[in-house]
Structure 1
Amino acid sequence: MRDVAVVGSGPNGLVAAVILARAGLSVEVFEAQDVAGGGSRTTELTLPGYRHDICAGAHPMALASPVFRAFDLAAHGVELLAPQVSYAHPLDGGRAGLAWRDLDRTVAGLGPDGPAWRTLFGPLVRHWPEVVAAAMSDLRRVPSDPLTAVRFGLRVLEQGTPLWNNRFRDEIAPALLTGVATHAITPPRALPAAGAGLLLGTLAHAGGWVIPRGGSQAIADALRAELERLGGRVHTGHRVNTLDELAPARAIVLDTAPADLLRIAGARLPARYAGRLRRFHYGGAACKVDFALSGPVPWQAEGCELAGTLHLVGTRAEAMAAERAVAAGRHAQRPYVLAIQPGVVDDSRAPAGGHTLYAYTHVPNGSSRDVSADVIAQIERFAPGFRDLILAHHVYTAADLPAHNANYVGGDISAGAMTLRQLVFRPAPRWNPYATPLPGVYLCSAATPPGPGVHGMSGLHAARHVLRDRFGIRADPLRLLASQAS
C-alpha cells in the first residue's frame, strides 16, 4: 500500500510529494503529460536548438519563496540567473521605466517620481521576507510581522483603488507598476492585482526576477530528482480518471483545478461542495507566442536590452483599457504583452547568434483566436525591426492550453480568476481550503491559497494538513524541506 498518491506534477504537486517523502512516507506522483513539471516545462517549440518555456519563464519567487529557500534550488543543481533589470516597461518615444535589482538605481531613473517609488517600495524591500511570509501564507493566520503586513496592506489599498495616481506626477513610474500588477489578468486597479504588483515589484529589488539556466524545467527536474532519491516515483503519461485508480493510498493530493477534482471524484463529492466547485470562476486567459530569432530584440528604449522581462502596453491608461476589454469578453486592439528574453542571461536557449523570445497576451477565456499578429505589432511598436528577426514562431491559443495543462481551464493560467473573493476563498469558502469533504483527499494546486505562481506554497500548506490529519506527523514542512537526510 502506498501512503500518498499525488495527481499532477506541477511545482505544488512535486513540493507536496517531496515534503511527504521526507517525512518517511511512500509517495507516487501521476502526471497526464509525457514530461513532469506542469507549468514549469521547457521544450523545443519552434526550431531545433531553440528551447522555450511552456508557461512560467521568469521566477520572482525562486529566490524568495519559503519553499525554495528551504529546499535550496542551487544546492540541487538549479542555476538561477538574475538580469540586471528585473523588468522594463517601454513607452512611446524611446522612453522606458526600468526596475533595476538596485532600488537606488531604479529611483534615480524615475525622475520626479523617484522619491515616490522609494517611499512605496523602500520599507517593503527592507522587510521582504516578512512581506513574502504574509502574502504566501494560507491567508488564515495572523502574520508573523503585523507591522509589515499593515504597511503592505495600506499600499495595496492605495494602488487598488481610485487613489492609485495620487503619489505619482509623471507617467513612467505608474506605468512601470501597472505592468507588474497586470500579471494578475484582471484590471490592474483592483486589490488582488495591486497586491500581486506590489509583491512582485518588491522582489524585483530584493534578489531579482531570476531565470533558470536551461529553462524552467530545471526546477521541476530538481524536485523530481529529490523525490526519486527519497524512494518516490513519478508516472508520466498517466491521466487519472477516478479516485479508484489511486486506491489503496491513505491520502490523495490533487495538484489540479476544481474542474478536474469534479471529473475525478464524480458523484462522491457532497452536492453542496460540488456546486461550489462548479461555480468557481475561471478568468481571463493567455495566448502564448514563442519566437525563434536571428538576433536580440532591437528595443528602442535604452536599458530594455538588459531586462529579463518586459511589459508591453504603453501607459497606465492603456493597460486599464486593454484589461477591461478582456474582462468584458473582448480582444483588446492594443493588448498587454508580457515578454521574456532569457538570452539576456542564458546563452543555452538558442544556437550561437540566435535568441528566443517568450510572449503572451491576455484574451477572453476559451478564445481560439491566434493573436500573434497583434503580439508582433505590439513588440514592433517598441522595437522597430523586430519582424525582420523572426525565423519561426509557435502559438498556443487559449483554447489550446488545456490540452497541455488541464489546470488552465479555458486558457486561464492562474487556475481561477483573481477576484478578491477568490483570492481568499479558493476554491470554496472553507476554513481549510486544502481538505475536501472526502476523507484523505486534498487539493494543492494554484486554485488554493496563496494562488498562482511558481512558489510551491500551496503544496507546502496542503502537505502540512496531510501530515497532521492523516498520519499524525506534526513536523514543520519547511524543516523537512531543509533536511538532507537520505
Structure 2
Amino acid sequence: MKKYDAIIVGSGPNGFSAAIRLQLAGLSTLLVEGSDKIGGGMRTSELTLSGYHHDVCSAVHPMFFGSPFFDALPLADHGLKFMEAKYPLAHPLDDAPAVLLHRSMEEMTDVLGQDFSEYQALLSEVVYKWPSLAADVFGPLQVPHHPLLMAEFGLKALASASYIAKRFERMETRALWAGLVAHGMQPLDRLGTSAIGLVLGGMAHRSGWPIAIGGSQAISDALTAYYQDLGGEILLNHWLEDVRDLPQHELLFLNMSPRQVLQVKGLDLKLGYRKQLEKYRYGMGVFKIDWALSDPTPFRDLACQQAATVHLGGTFEDIAASELDAFRGRMNAKPYVLFSQPSVFDSSRAPAGKHTGWAYCHVPLGSEQDCTELIERQIERFAPGFRDTILGRSTMNAQQMESYNPNYVGGDISGGIMDLGQMFTRPSFSLTPYRTSNPKVYITSSSTPPGGGVHGMCGYHAAHTALKDHYSPLK
C-alpha cells in the first residue's frame, strides 16, 4: 500500500487549501472525504425540483478574493468563473427605500449622507490597505507584519457593534451596519463583534460579494482539478473513525471541529489537550430554506433584485433583539434573515424563466424548530407576494445541518463561537492553534483562526505550520 507524506481528512475549503499548500511544497498527499461528493460546504444540488440547482451551504463568497491564498491560485484556468451583482448587498426597510451597498465607496456618499465620512473611515483599512492587512487579519495571533496598521484596525474590530452604531446619525446607516455585523452570530453588544462587519463591508467595496457560476460546487470542482493537476489524490466515501484505517502517512490534517476530533480513535492526544477541546464552545445554529420559484422575488424596492445578498431584519434595534434572542435560546418573531437570489445572476441555476432562492436565520444551538413560517413572513414583509412564487422548498433545521456536515455542530456554521475568547486562540489556548498535542497531527478546520468563511486560510496556516515543523528549508 502506498505511503503518503500527508493525509488531509475533509474536503471543504480548508481541507483543499491544506492539501494544495502541501502538494505545492512537494509532498505526496491524499485528500479523504467521507461523502460521495467533494466540497464540504461548497456543494450544489437539486434540493427542490428537477433542474433547480441550490447551494447546500455557502452561496455568496465575500472572502474568496480577500484570501491571500485562494486569490493567488489559477482557478480560472480550471473553469471557475464568478458573477458580480450590481450591489453586493441590499437592506430593505419598512418605511424607507432600501439601503444599497455599492461596490464603489464614492457612490455611498448619496446613500449615507452625513454618515459617509464616518463610514468610510470605519472601513478604510480593509478597503484601501487590505494587501498589507490580510496576513494579520486572516491569520493566528502573532507579531503583526504592519503593527500600526493592525492597531488601527484592531481598535475598531475590538469594539462592540452597538458601540460603533452610535457613531452614525441615520437609521439607514445603523441598519446597514447591523446586517453586516450580525453575520458574526453573536449579541451585538459584545466586544469584538465589529470585526466581521469591518471585513465583510470592506470586501464588498474592495472585491464585491461574488457568486460562482454554476453554484458553489464550481469552486470545489476547480480546486479538485488544480489539486489533481499537482499530483494530489482523492479518496471518497471514507468516513474516518480510526486513524489505523487510513493508508500509511507521516502527517495527518483534520478538517474537523473539536467534537469530531475527539471521536477519532488512534490519534494519541494527551489528556490535557483533550480537555481543552472538550471545553470548546459553539455559538448559534441556523435554519436554512431553499426555494424553487416561478419569478424573481417581488421586493417592494425593486433595486433589491440586483443585490447578491439581501439582509432582512429592519432596524439596528430589530436585528440586535433578534440575535440576542437566538443566543439566549429563543426565537424572535421577526428574525434576521440572510437571503440570496443566485438565479438572477446565473441562469444555469434554474429552468428558463424560473428562479431559485436561498435563505437562513440564526437559531438557538441545536434547535429542531421549523422556522419556515418565520422566514417567509420576513420575506413577505419586504417582498409582498413572495409566497405566490414558491413552486417547491427544501428546509434544514440546525440538527439536520449537523447531520449533513458534522463540522456544523448544533448548526453552527462558523465552527464555534468567535468571541474574544475564541477569536485567535481556537480550538486551544495556543499561539499555534493548528498543532495538537501529537506532533504529527494538525487541525485545519474553521475551528482554528481565522474562523468561518470560504477563504481557505485555516487550512493554509495549518499546512504552513506543519511544513515549518517538519521540513527545512521551507518550500
State if a TM-score over 0.5 links the two structures: yes
What secondary structure sits across from 2:57 in the alignment? coil
- Cα distance in structure 2, aligned partners of 1:143 and 1:474: 21
**Cα shift readout 1:226-275 (whole Å, capped 9, x = no counterpart):** 22222222111110101112252100000011111101146832111111
Q: Is the 8 A contact 2:90 2:311 kept in 1?
A: yes
Which residue of 1 is the match for residue 155 of structure 2? Answer: 154
Which residue of 2 is the match for residue 317 of structure 1? Answer: 317
Q: 1:267 to 1:139 in 2, by over 3 A?
A: closer
Which residue of 2 is the match for residue 428 of structure 1? Answer: 428
1:437 offset after TM fit, Å? Answer: 0.6
- Cα distance in structure 2, aligned partners of 1:139 and 1:350: 44
- Cα distance in structure 2, aligned partners of 1:201 and 1:368: 32
**Cα shift readout 1:50-82 (whole Å, capped 9, x = no counterpart):** 111111111111212101121133233210111
What secondary structure sits across from 1:417 in the alignment? coil
Which residue of 2 is the match for residue 208 of structure 1? Answer: 208
Amino acid of the residue matched to residue 309 of structure 2? T
Determine whether 1:401 maps to 2:401.
Answer: yes
1:207 offset after TM fit, Å? Answer: 1.4
Q: 1:162 to 1:42 in 2, by over 3 A?
A: closer
Which residue of 2 is the match for residue 113 of structure 1? Answer: 115
Q: Is the 8 A contact 1:33 1:404 kept in 2?
A: no
Q: Is the 8 A contact 2:183 2:196 kept in 1?
A: yes
What TM-score do you get using the length of structure 2 for normalisation?
Answer: 0.96
What secondary structure sits across from 1:268 in the alignment? coil
Q: Is the 8 A contact 1:94 1:382 kept in 2?
A: no
- Cα distance in structure 2, aligned partners of 1:437 and 1:273: 6
Q: Is the 8 A contact 1:82 1:207 kept in 2?
A: no
Q: Is the 8 A contact 1:139 1:450 kept in 2?
A: no
What TM-score do you get using the length of structure 1 for normalisation?
Answer: 0.94
Which residue of 1 is the match for residue 257 of structure 2? Answer: 257
Which residue of 1 is the match for residue 35 of structure 2? Answer: 33
Which residue of 2 is the match for residue 144 of structure 1? Answer: 145
Which residue of 2 is the match for residue 483 of structure 1? Answer: none
Amino acid of the residue matched to residue 28 of structure 1? L
- Cα distance in structure 1, aligned partners of 2:469 and 2:265: 20
Q: 1:62 to 1:291 in 2, by over 3 A?
A: same
Q: 1:309 to 1:150 in 2, by over 3 A?
A: same
- Cα distance in structure 1, aligned partners of 2:260 and 2:335: 30
Amino acid of the residue matched to residue 344 of structure 2? V
- Cα distance in structure 2, aligned partners of 1:312 and 1:192: 23
Identify which range, 387-396 or 92-101, moves more after superposition.
92-101
Which residue of 2 is the match for residue 229 of structure 1? Answer: 229
1:109 offset after TM fit, Å? Answer: 1.3
What secondary structure sits across from 1:137 in the alignment? coil
- Cα distance in structure 2, aligned partners of 1:276 and 1:353: 52
What secondary structure sits across from 1:348 in the alignment? helix
2:132 to 130, 133, 157: 130
Q: 1:174 to 1:403 in 2, by over 3 A?
A: same
Which residue of 1 is the match for residue 277 of structure 2? Answer: 277
Identity %: 42
Amino acid of the residue matched to residue 443 of structure 2? L
Amino acid of the residue matched to residue 328 of structure 1? R
Q: Is the 8 A contact 1:184 1:192 kept in 2?
A: no
Q: 1:309 to 1:347 in 2, by over 3 A?
A: same
1:114 offset after TM fit, Å? Answer: 2.5
Q: Is the 8 A contact 2:161 2:181 kept in 1?
A: no
- Cα distance in structure 2, aligned partners of 1:456 and 1:192: 22
Q: Is the 8 A contact 1:342 1:357 kept in 2?
A: yes
Q: Is the 8 A contact 2:66 2:203 kept in 1?
A: yes
Amino acid of the residue matched to residue 152 of structure 1? F
1:171 offset after TM fit, Å? Answer: 0.6
- Cα distance in structure 2, aligned partners of 1:263 and 1:132: 34
Which residue of 2 is the match for residue 14 of structure 1? Answer: 16
- Cα distance in structure 1, aligned partners of 2:301 and 2:118: 23
Question: Which stretches of structure 1, 4 residues or longer, exceed 6 Å deviation after superposition?
Answer: none
1:144 offset after TM fit, Å? Answer: 2.2
- Cα distance in structure 1, aligned partners of 2:180 and 2:74: 26
- Cα distance in structure 2, aligned partners of 1:365 and 1:473: 44
- Cα distance in structure 1, aligned partners of 2:87 and 2:144: 31
Amino acid of the residue matched to residue 465 of structure 1? T
What secondary structure sits across from 2:361 in the alignment? strand
Identify which range, 167-176 or 69-78, moves more after superposition.
69-78
Which residue of 2 is the match for residue 467 of structure 1? Answer: 467
1:448 offset after TM fit, Å? Answer: 0.4
Which residue of 2 is the match for residue 410 of structure 1? Answer: 410
Give the aligned CA root-mean-square deviation in angstroms.
1.5
Which residue of 2 is the match for residue 446 of structure 1? Answer: 446
Q: 1:180 to 1:266 in 2, by over 3 A?
A: farther
**How many equivalent residue pairs?**
473
- Cα distance in structure 2, aligned partners of 1:8 and 1:369: 28
Q: Is the 8 A contact 1:88 1:96 kept in 2?
A: yes
Q: Is the 8 A contact 1:286 1:397 kept in 2?
A: yes
**Cα shift readout 1:288-344 (whole Å, capped 9, x = no counterpart):** 100111010111124211100011111000111001111111112111100111123
Unmatched runs of 5 consecutive residues or more in structure 2: none
Which residue of 1 is the match for residue 163 of structure 2? Answer: 163
Amino acid of the residue matched to residue 403 of structure 1? S
Identify which range, 108-117 or 255-264, moves more after superposition.
108-117
Which residue of 2 is the match for residue 327 of structure 1? Answer: 327
Determine whether 1:93 maps to 2:95.
Answer: yes
Q: 1:373 to 1:473 in 2, by over 3 A?
A: farther
What secondary structure sits across from 1:311 in the alignment? strand
1:473 offset after TM fit, Å? Answer: 4.5
What secondary structure sits across from 2:264 in the alignment? helix
Amino acid of the residue matched to residue 147 of structure 1? L
